[in-house]
């Protein structure tokens, strides 16, 4: 099935609601991150990305199934990522998640391609940083990111800082 990416900035949109639903499912439900850590005041300043799977139309009806949100991320412009301070603004990719049944199907790559294109074309920032969960750091290494810190715990999950220039 085909996928599309939708983008929004700000608090009130279906895209943000879908991103929050995915984050609840994956970070809170699967990984046990406390809700109060997952949802912060930074959603309002971030640009949100959601990958949707376009569902096929039902056979003998005129109604279509709404697209299914399968992956999401947010991007903020920061000078401090929580581990390092930077001399000039950088794009920080956060809250990257993919619905369990859609992992290893290219959805993460579709998501990151859209995020990186936005950072390059719209934000025009040369550097991207993120805090990767250690078990999936290879995904980011394959996308050209390099490790920039030792492992540390964030929300009781091993993470590592990574960047791409």
pLDDT at 85: 77
Q: Are 50 and 99 in contact (CB under 8 A)?
A: no
Average pLDDT, the chain: 91
pLDDT at 13: 86
pTM, entire model: 0.90
Eight-class DSSP state of 111: H
Cα torsion at 11, 26, 50, 132 (round to 10°)? 100
Closest CA to 123 of 86, 162, 92, 96: 92
Mean pLDDT value across residues 46-73: 83
Domains and CATH numbers, the chain: 3-164 (3.40.630.30)
130 pLDDT band, cuts 50/70/90, is very high
Taking 60 as the threshold, does the pLDDT of residue 61 lie above it? Answer: no
What percent of the chain shows pLDDT beyond 70?
93
pLDDT in tens, 32-59: 999 999 998 899 899 999 999 987 665 5
């Amino acid at each position: 099935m085909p996928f599309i990416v939708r983008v929004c900035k700000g608090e009130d949109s279906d895209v943000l609601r879908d991103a929050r639903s995915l984050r609840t499912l994956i970070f809170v439900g699967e990984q046990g991150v406390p809700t109060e850590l997952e949802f912060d005041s930074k959603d309002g300043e971030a640009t949100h990305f959601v990958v949707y799977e376009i569902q096929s139309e039902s056979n003998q009806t005129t109604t279509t199934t709404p697209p299914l949100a399968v992956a999401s991320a947010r991007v903020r412009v920061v000078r401090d990522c929580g581990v390092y301070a930077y001399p000039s603004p950088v794009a920080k990719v956060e809250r990257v998640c993919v619905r369990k049944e859609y992992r290893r199907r290219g959805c993460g790559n579709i998501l990151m391609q859209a995020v990186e294109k936005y950072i390059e074309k719209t934000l025009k920032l040369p550097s991207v940083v993120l805090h990767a969960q250690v078990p999936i750091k290879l995904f980011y290494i394959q996308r050209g990111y390099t490790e920039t810190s030792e492992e540390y715990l964030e929300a009781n999950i091993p993470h590592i800082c990574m960047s791409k220039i």
